[in-house]
Chains A and B, each alone.
Chain A
């Protein structure tokens, strides 16, 4: 069956360190993958999109990699800050271009001063 897996355990890191979050999937061949941030009581907010033919994408302190052989995406936040504390969701397009996104359960990140 199809599955998206994100670290279920919360990730605790020290301020200034790099946070690395993992998104693994099975039995999918997504055309692209997106990462969202969700704060408690709020809707998800889009961060980055990476296509299957792209290995890496960067935006300010954020970096996403996409390995279609390993069926894995890594999401990095460099020089992390307490304000980065949130749940991060990965989402895969299953529709081959109709923007039908399926979300993982998310990983909660806590950045400590």
Chain B
């Protein structure tokens, strides 16, 4: 079974520029997550989708971050404009179950450096 695919793996941009990250979850997984992991910290949940609806986006800085999941499959996370403090690894994860407990399958992450 193919894992969670993310791209790009690395991105370097200047502050105030924009960037987009793409995620393709494991086939058939209903729930998709975007986490932000700053160096030395644990992953912080930004947004959780159930199929193509948003379950939780309470931690998403909506003035600069946006995310969508079209047709309940792929997802994109956009940052516009980027700030220095957005430098982090952006992890996408998916889980099989619609609600209930279940392990998360993570991608390798997209490392963003904002200069």
Contacts and interface: CB of A to CB of B under 8 A. Distances in A.
A binds B: yes
Interface of A: 4, 6, 31-32, 34, 36, 41-46, 49, 51, 89, 91, 93, 95, 97-106
A28 to B, nearest CB: 14
Contact size range, B: 20 to 34
18 contacts: A6-B42, A34-B104, A42-B109, A43-B4, A43-B93, A43-B107, A44-B43, A44-B106, A89-B43, A97-B101, A99-B101, A99-B104, A100-B45, A100-B48, A101-B33, A103-B35, A103-B42, A105-B41
A38 B41 CA distance: 12
B68 interface: no
A100 B97 CA distance: 12
Contact of A100 (B4, B42, B56, B106): B56
B103 A46 contact: yes
B108 A93 contact: no
Contacts of B93: 43
Contact of A97 (B4, B40, B100): B100
A100 B57 CA distance: 11
B43 A99 contact: no
Given A43-B108, A89-B43, A106-B42, A51 B101 contact: yes
B105 A46 contact: yes
Given A49-B101, A98-B55, A99-B101, A43 B106 contact: yes
A49 B103 CA distance: 8
Nearest to B40: A105
B95 interface: yes
